[in-house]
């Protein structure tokens, strides 16, 4: 490039001798400046597109943000739904937000909501204790499966484990206590008519492992934890997992990004059950330990969120992000992903980065 620039012929010097020549020269300069500015704008826009982030901020560029998010969604190798709402300005973006998705562990927010609903109605207390048994063990995620049975965590302890490390043993213990049908009924009473839970984590694991070995279709929790995965290839295990998600007739949770967004809005504004109940759930969500999606590119922001995991086919994230004191609800669901887990997580992280940058927050490029 340098040699070609240096080889450019030098322009001949021009002397202006009449008013008409001066006017023409001024017009030519203005045209050249305008053209240069136009080229610069085009280069900046192209650079932003390549990086995946939009340099513009503020309400005036909401349409630009929508286009950028839709571009990620259109290029995503699978299905993706995005819902965003700025609770300070009521700015909202909904892309495929009324389609029902498998939520995986995001549905644990609905379990938490019904749990607080029953606590506030006096059915039990957060300080009540539940003793764990061997049969309560669940395949990871979480930690309780790795500990000795006979522990007596409080309901609040189990709620915390269910949210911040997505502990499946804690989840089934709490969902059994409050009743899954009651969770669904409460969601429907809030107007979240597409949000439901019917099956336990154990039901799901039995369906999955039973695809590989039919004797596991009625296995106890501790039996599923000790399943001999080493007897099967990775391809067999993954194929059985895919079959369970889409063809086995069981699901962990179902909802839309708009409805989970509405649930998060209730939590953020203190309108889920009560202000105290909302604040308690929100405080637990802020302690989230699974941070490989929304928080990946974010710097110096407050975030409370809950993930859902069915990789490499599904990964979800749902939460509230505060940017310059503005609470922003963001929910991303995916499905039928064709590709690796790292790329899946990165696409979700890019959505959060675009939203935060649009609202004036800092994001990294790492």
- Three-state SS for 147? coil
The mean pLDDT of the chain is 87
**Tokens 């179902």 label which residue?**
254
Q: Which domains does the chain have, with CATH numbers?
A: 60-363 (3.40.710.10)
- Three-state SS for 303? strand
Alpha-helical regions (H) of the chain = 2-6, 19-51, 62-75, 108-120, 155-164, 168-178, 180-189, 201-212, 221-225, 234-246, 257-268, 275-285, 341-358
Q: What is the rounded CA–CA span in Å between residue 26 and residue 264?
A: 59
Quote the DSSP letter at residue 82.
E
Residue 330 has pLDDT above 50, yes or no: yes
pLDDT digit string, tens, across residues 180-203: 999 999 999 999 999 999 999 999
Q: What percent of the chain shows pLDDT beyond 70? A: 84
Q: What is the rounded CA–CA span in Å between residue 307 and residue 290?
A: 7
Chain-centre distance for alpha carbon 271:
22
Q: What percent of the chain shows pLDDT beyond 90? A: 82
- Three-state SS for 318? strand
The predicted structure's pLDDT at residue 366: 72
Token reading at 264 = 């998060």
For residue 37, the tally of other CB atoms under 10 A from its CB is 10
Residue 338 has pLDDT above 50, yes or no: yes
Token reading at 58 = 């503020």
The predicted structure's pLDDT at residue 124: 98
Pairing of strands 314-323, 326-335: antiparallel
Q: What is the rounded CA–CA span in Å between residue 186 and residue 116?
A: 11
The predicted structure's pLDDT at residue 349: 98
Answer for the pair 194, 170: CB distance below 8 angstroms, yes or no.
no
Q: How confident is the model at residue 28 (pLDDT cuts 50, 70, 90)?
A: very low
pLDDT digit string, tens, across residues 296-315: 999 999 999 999 999 999 99
Angle at 346 between CA 343 and CA 350, to 5 degrees: 140
| Predicted structure pTM score | 0.84
Q: List strands edge to edge, sheet with 79-86.
A: 92-95, 79-86, 326-335, 314-323, 302-310
First to last CA, the chain: 29
Instruction: Please list, in sequence order, all residues whose beta carbon lies within 8 angstroms of the beta carbon of residue 87, skipping any fewer than 6 positions away.
Output: 265, 268, 269, 326, 327, 328, 329
Q: What is the rounded CA–CA span in Å between residue 82 and residue 96?
A: 7
The predicted structure's pLDDT at residue 141: 85
Residue 135 has pLDDT above 60, yes or no: yes
pLDDT digit string, tens, across residues 228-279: 999 999 999 999 999 999 999 999 999 999 999 999 999 999 999 999 999 9
**Tokens 């305008």 label which residue?**
34
Higher confidence at residue 50 or residue 183?
183
Token reading at 249 = 């007739």
The predicted structure's pLDDT at residue 113: 98
């Amino acid at each position: 490039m340098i040699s070609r620039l240096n080889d450019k012929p030098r322009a001949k010097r021009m002397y202006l001798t009449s008013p008409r020549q001066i006017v023409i020269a001024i017009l030519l300069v203005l045209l050249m400046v305008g053209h240069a500015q136009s080229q610069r704008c085009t280069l900046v826009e192209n650079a932003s597109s390549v990086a995946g982030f939009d340099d513009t901020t503020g309400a005036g560029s909401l349409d630009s943000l929508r286009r950028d998010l839709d571009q990620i969604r259109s290029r995503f190798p699978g299905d993706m739904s995005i819902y965003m709402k700025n609770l300070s300005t009521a700015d909202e973006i909904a892309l495929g937000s009324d389609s029902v998705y498998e939520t995986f562990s995001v549905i644990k927010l609905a379990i938490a909501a019904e749990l607080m609903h029953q606590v506030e109605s006096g059915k039990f207390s957060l300080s009540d204790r539940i003793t764990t048994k061997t049969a309560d063990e669940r395949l990871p995620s979480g930690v309780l499966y790795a500990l000795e049975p006979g522990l007596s965590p409080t309901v609040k302890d189990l709620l915390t484990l269910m949210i911040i490390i997505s502990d499946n043993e804690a989840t089934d213990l709490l969902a059994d206590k409050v009743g899954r049908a009651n969770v669904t009924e409460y969601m429907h009473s809030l107007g979240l008519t597409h949000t439901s839970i019917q099956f336990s984590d154990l039901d799901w694991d039995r369906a999955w492992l039973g695809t590989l070995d039919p004797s596991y279709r009625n296995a106890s929790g501790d039996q599923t934890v000790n399943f001999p995965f080493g007897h099967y290839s990775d391809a067999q295990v993954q194929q059985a997992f895919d079959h369970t998600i889409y063809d086995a007739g069981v699901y962990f949770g179902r909802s839309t990004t708009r409805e989970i967004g509405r649930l998060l809005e209730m939590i953020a504004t203190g309108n889920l059950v009560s202000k105290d109940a909302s604040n308690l759930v929100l405080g637990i969500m802020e302690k989230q330990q699974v941070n490989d999606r929304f928080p990946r590119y974010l710097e110096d922001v407050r975030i409370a969120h809950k993930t859902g995991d069915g990789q490499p086919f599904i990964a979800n994230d749902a939460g509230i992000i505060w940017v310059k004191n503005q609470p922003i609800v963001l929910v991303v669901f995916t499905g039928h992903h064709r590709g690796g887990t790292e790329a899946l997580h990165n696409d979700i992280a890019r959505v959060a980065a675009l939203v935060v940058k649009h609202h004036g927050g800092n994001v990294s490029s790492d």
